[in-house]
Amino acid sequence: MTTEIPAQVQHQLAQLQQVQQQAQALATQKAQVTSSLNEIEMALGELEKLDSDAVIYKNVGQLLIKGERDSIEVELKEKKETMELRAKTLERQEERIRKRFQQLQEQLQSAIGGAGDSEVA
Amino acid sequence: MMDRQLTDQELQGLMARHDEYQAQAEALAGQMEAIQISILECERAVSTIDALESEDEDSATSLVPIGAGSFVHARLVKSDRAIVSLGASVSAEMSADAARGCLSDRKEKLINILGQMDKSLKELAGRVRAIQAEANKQMQLRQPDQAYM
């Protein structure tokens, strides 16, 4: 009985690991986007609660710069739209990666099964 | 819990689930720590607003940190107003009372989230314990087999 893994299986394993890493990277990105989206929604909600004459500041690095409430609100809404779009793109990418992972997993399982059968034979 | 002996593949699957739950639990614990820090920050900010409000603007001696454990003298103006971050790089100026309210609301929300996370953590810990118990049982079931090997 040989313990050496066939080259084809090794290649499929490497591909599987690569896809897994891509999936993890995508999950991290999605978590960041979701977190930003939640933060923007929270900020917009807090802005709505404030009086119309409230003084609003924008954080620029370590500094706070006084800004126009309306323009800040518009900016936040635009940022929200961008984040929503980004989240949808990431979801689609995640779906593609998930399918690719399943496909590779099945290929690998059948390759290992095939190798096992030929060994038995 | 299984009463039969698991196959090697099933046992590997069980161990993979164990590692996955443990990793999830560790990540959750890390997030909970960050939330606890945020809760403490809210409390500290409210305490500071309270302390500054009770100070006389003219007589209060205040020192502003400039880093490396160094400070500069600063005059406190508008101690009844505070600028509170709303998130997403936006802050708003509000009265001391409104700031206290905003920060207290935030603290309450964070406490609720922490409670939910604690529940999830306990669920995960339960799953990890159940897998560990199953793994121990499987080890015992396998030992008589191994004795013949």
- Per the domain annotation, does A85 fall within a domain? yes
Task: Report the 10 Å Cβ neighbour count for B95.
Answer: 14
Nearest to B92 among A39, A42, A50 (CB): A50
Which residue in A46, A55, A59 is closest to B89 by CB distance?
A: A59
Nearest to B86 among A36, A47, A79 (CB): A47
End-to-end alpha carbon distance in chain B: 27
CB contact under 8 A, A54 and B92: yes
Higher pLDDT, residue B60 or A17 = A17
- Each residue's pLDDT expressed in tens, for chain B with a length of 149 residues: 567 788 888 889 999 999 999 999 999 999 999 999 999 999 999 999 998 888 776 667 788 899 999 999 988 888 889 999 999 999 999 999 999 999 999 999 999 999 999 999 999 999 999 999 999 998 888 876 554 44
Instruction: Provide the pLDDT for residue B57.
Output: 66
**Domain presence at residue A8:** no
Domain presence at residue A4: no
pLDDT at A121: 36
The tally of domains found in chain A comes to: 1
pLDDT digits (tens, 9 = 90+) for A79-111: 999 999 999 999 999 999 999 999 999 988 888
Is residue A120's pLDDT more than 50? no
pLDDT confidence band for A3 (50 / 70 / 90): low
The answer to the question of residue A80 being in a domain is yes
DSSP type of residue A4: P
Average pLDDT, chain A: 89
Instruction: Tell whether A71 is covered by a domain.
Output: yes
**Structure tokens given for B72:** 């500069």
> Cα–Cα distance between B34 and A111 in angstroms, integer?
45
pTM of the model: 0.77
* d(C-alpha A57, C-alpha A72), whole Å: 9
Any domain includes A100:
yes
**Domains along the sequence of chain B with CATH:** 12-53+94-147 (1.10.287)
Q: Contact B92/A59, CB-based, under 8 Å?
A: no
Domain that holds residue A41: 31-114
CATH of the domain at A47: 1.10.287.370
B143 touching A, CB under 8 A? Answer: no
B91 has which bridge partners?
Answer: A57, B85
Nearest-Cα residue of chain A relative to residue B89: A59
Q: Which two tokens stand for residue B5?
A: 């002996």
pLDDT digits 0-9 by tens, A57-78: 999 988 999 999 999 999 999 9
Q: What angle (nearest 5°) sits at the alpha carbon of residue B120, between those of residues B11 and A85? A: 100
Chain A partners of B87 at a C-beta cutoff of 8 Å?
39-40, 42-43, 46
Mutate to test the interface with A, among B90, B93, B97 (most CBs of A within 10 A): B90
Contacts of B71 (CB under 8 A, 6+ apart): B63, B64, B65
Stated as kind and residue range, the H or E segment containing A59 is strand A56-60
Max distance between CA atoms of chain A, in angstroms, equals 83
Higher per-residue confidence, B126 vs A121: B126
Tell whether A11 is covered by a domain: no
- Between chain A and chain B, how many beta carbons pairs sit less than 8 Å apart? 49
Bridge-based pairing of strands A63-67 and B62-67 is unpaired
Instruction: State both tokens at A64.
Output: 């706070």
Q: Which of B7, B85, B89 to mutate to test the interface with A (most CBs of A within 10 A)?
A: B89
Q: Is A118 exposed, middle or buried (0-12, 13-18, 19+ CB in 10 A)?
A: exposed
Q: What pLDDT score was predicted for residue A52?
A: 86
Strand partners, B64: B72
What ipTM was assigned to the predicted interfaces of this complex? Answer: 0.77
B/e letters for A71-103, b = 16+ CB within 10 Å, e = fewer, are ebbebbeebbeebeebbeebeebbeebeebbee
Q: Is residue A108 part of a domain?
A: yes
| A50 closest CA partner among B26, B17, B83 | B83
Query: Using alpha carbons only, what angle is made at residue B94 by residues B58 and B108, rounded to the nearest 5 degrees?
Result: 115
Query: How far apart are the C-alpha atoms of A108 and A11, rounded to whole Å?
Result: 10
Q: How confident is the model at residue B145, as a pLDDT?
A: 57
- Chain A residues close to B102, C-beta within 8 Å: 46
